[in-house]
Homo-oligomer: A and B are copies of this chain.
Amino acid sequence: MHNYSSTVSVAVAGASGYAGQELLRILARHPGTKLSAAMTSSPGSAARPLPRLARVFDGQLQPLDHDRLAEADAVFLAVPEAASASLVPELQARGVKRIFDLSGAFRLRDLALRKKWYPATTSEPEGLAYGLTELAKEEIAAASVVACPGCYPTAALLALRPLADAGLLNLSHGVVIDAKSGISGAGRTPSDRTHFSEVHGSVAAYGVFAHRHVAEIEQQLGSDVTFVPHLVPLDRGILETIYVRVRPEVTAFEIEAAFNAAYEHAPFVRLTGEALPEVKHVAYTNFCDIGWKFDAASHRLVLVSCIDNLIKGAAGQAVQNFNVAFGLDEREGLS
């Protein structure tokens, strides 16, 4: 346990959604932070208690208040992307030094793609980093604004990037990412899509050729992908099955070596090798579990990557980025 001479004051906007609630749960027990404010996404909401978090976070959920946000050392934004698009530059202008944005507003660098998928985003913040923690620690440490990755890209990129970066993949053959997600990923607003009776006992694909996380994965991978997300009847977690080919001469040893090299010092990536990972073992944790099966004869590689969409895919990774930014142990508040 660490001895903190001083703690960092943090504020959360958007604390009423599922990811926001996880942020509160984590930050309230984080030994290096003082949670100064928990706000909704709207200035017009009434203050209210959070009975579900009683004894964990006993404060009130406040209406959105830009002034109070601006007073914090670090701000976490779990608000809709259009709100982030305007809040981030405003908070920067008012002197907030560290902003962790969980929305997609600043994830895409290509302006055309940003305009297509996040039209409300009209500025480029100074000191922006894409916060896939394990693969961007230096950028995160130096950043003023961290665009925290989407849940699907997090699982996909942590599995693909070490192999792509090591030059092992034959990306020209195409990459297929078949994702299965729990329903909390669809957010807290009730809809036909999230009605229990529609989801229970069912599986459904959605967003084929039209999900904005495709652009994010392609940007970070430097290659086109075919990505199909599915809703499966569980609350928490994502499992992605990734179909790719390696270059002809690549061996099983090289694949394993590339993963080991990438994650040797990563406390939250667990390599399971041929024992493929399962959602259950990462749910309610900040782990990303990665396993794979390789058919050397055909150069086919099947990767399986699992995360908890609300933790490693949202709140947990944001706090992990916070820890990196403030020079703390990466695991603070997350184990």
A44 to B195, CA, bound (A): 24
- Please give, as numbers and ranges, the residues of chain B lying within 8 Å of A232 by CB-CB distance: 180, 203, 232-234
Query: Using a CB-CB cutoff of 8 Å, which residues 265-290 of chain A contact chain B?
Result: 267-268, 270, 272, 275-276, 278-281, 283-284, 287
- Is residue A206 within 8 Å, beta carbon to beta carbon, of the partner chain? yes
A194→B293 CA distance, assembly (Å): 23
Complex-state Cα separation, A195 to B192, whole angstroms: 9
A251 located at the interface, meaning its Cβ lies under 8 Å from any Cβ of chain B in the complex: no
A149 to B317, CA, bound (A): 38
- How does the 8 Å CB contact mask read for A228-239 relative to B, with 1 for contact and 0 for none? 101011111101
Query: Which of A51-59, A87-95, A116-124 is the interface stretch?
Result: A51-59
Total copies of the chain: 4
Question: Could you tell me how many residues of chain A have their Cβ less than 8 Å away from some Cβ of chain B?
Answer: 71
Q: Are B272 and A204 in contact (CB under 8 A)?
A: no
Does A201 lie within 8 Å of B235, measured CB to CB? yes
**Which residues of A are in contact with B by a Cβ distance under 8 Å?**
1-2, 18, 29, 31, 51-52, 54-56, 173-174, 176, 178, 180, 182-184, 188, 190-192, 194-206, 208-209, 224, 226, 228, 230, 232-237, 239, 241, 243, 267-268, 270, 272, 275-276, 278-281, 283-284, 287, 293, 295, 298, 300, 302, 304, 306, 335
